[in-house]
């Protein structure tokens, strides 16, 4: 594709492809573990296989939870999503031995469209620290006198080799010359959501840190 202005069908196809790609490794690992259990009688090998299945199943579930909140329209959630639920999904998705999430929020719940944006931006920011590190997430939400929602989100990424993922800043800035592929589709999706919500996204390097912001236009 040579034009970043994707229609809804192309965007849906790219998101579907990315969801399958992200889950393929975890599902494949579960299958490998099951094959080991069928073929091996060695106790240590069977223990390894069970551990592989358990860890891969947890990772797949965390990825599915993320996808459902970032891309889905859950009938179990109302117009407002509990921040505690979002935090739980975010932690399962992001945290491992190398990555740590520090969470701060000033409200107990946020609108569903803002929850999608939060998860999408988290999905982009995870690639800012390839060697792992700390993610400091802060969100605030309020109402204007006219009753409109005012939402702001920051994610500061701190760790070795921190970088703005290639192409993300340009997509956030509306550069329509970038080719949108699996690496940039979440950034593009987040930009579309932000525009519809009268918000703007940015990604920049501040010293050794990477800062992602979502704020009113």
> Does residue 101 sit within a domain?
yes
Give the per-residue pLDDT at 74: 61
CATH number assigned to the domain comprising residue 41: 3.30.565.10
Confidence at residue 77, expressed as pLDDT on a 0 to 100 scale = 67
Dump pLDDT digits (tens) for 128-171.
999 999 999 999 988 776 667 789 999 999 999 999 999 999 99
Residue 102 included in any domain: yes
pTM (two decimals): 0.88
Give every CB contact of residue 200 below 8 A, 6+ residues apart in sequence: 172, 194, 214, 215, 216, 217
State whether residue 134 is helix, strand or coil. strand
Q: How many domains does the chain have?
A: 1
User: DSSP string of 69-130?
Assistant: HHH---TTS-SEEEHHHHHHHHHHHH-SSSEEEEEEESSSEEEHHHHHHHHHHHHHHGGG-T
Q: What is the pLDDT of residue 175?
A: 84
Residue span of the structural domain in which 27 resides: 8-216
Average pLDDT of the residues in 4-18: 88
pLDDT digits (tens, 9 = 90+) for 51-67: 999 999 999 999 999 99
Q: What pLDDT, on a 0 to 100 scale, did the predictor assign at position 153?
A: 96
Question: Is residue 1 assigned to a domain?
Answer: no
Domain-embedded: residue 112: yes
Tell me which DSSP letter residue 17 carries: H
73 inside domain: yes
pLDDT for the residue 148: 72
pLDDT the model gives residue 1: 36
> CA 58, 62, 76 angle in degrees (round to 5)?
125
Q: Is 202 helix (H, G, I), strand (E, B) or coil?
A: strand
146 found inside a domain: yes
Place of tokens 């975010």: 90
Over the Cα atoms of the chain, what is R_g? 19
Percent pLDDT > 90 in the chain is 78
């Amino acid at each position: 594709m040579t034009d970043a202005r994707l229609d809804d069908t192309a965007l849906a196809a790219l998101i579907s492809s990315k969801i399958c790609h992200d889950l393929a490794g975890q599902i494949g690992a579960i299958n490998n573990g099951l094959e080991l259990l069928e073929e091996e009688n060695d106790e240590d090998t069977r223990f390894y296989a069970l551990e592989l299945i358990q860890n891969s199943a947890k990772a797949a579930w965390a990825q599915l939870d993320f996808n459902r909140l970032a891309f889905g329209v859950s009938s179990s959630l109302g117009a407002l999503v509990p921040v505690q639920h979002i935090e739980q999904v975010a932690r399962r998705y992001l945290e491992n031995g190398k990555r740590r999430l520090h969470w701060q929020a000033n409200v107990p719940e946020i609108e569903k469209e803002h929850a999608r944006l939060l998860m999408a931006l988290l999905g982009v920011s995870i690639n800012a620290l390839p060697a792992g590190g700390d993610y400091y997430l802060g969100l605030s939400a309020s109402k204007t006198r006219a009753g409109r929602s005012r939402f702001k989100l920051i994610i500061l990424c701190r760790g070795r080799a921190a970088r703005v993922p290639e192409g993300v800043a340009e997509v956030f800035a509306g550069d329509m010359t970038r080719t949108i592929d699996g690496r940039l589709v979440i950034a593009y999706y987040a930009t579309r959501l932000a525009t519809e919500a009268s918000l703007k996204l940015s990604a920049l390097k501040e010293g050794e840190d990477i800062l992602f912001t979502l704020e009113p236009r």
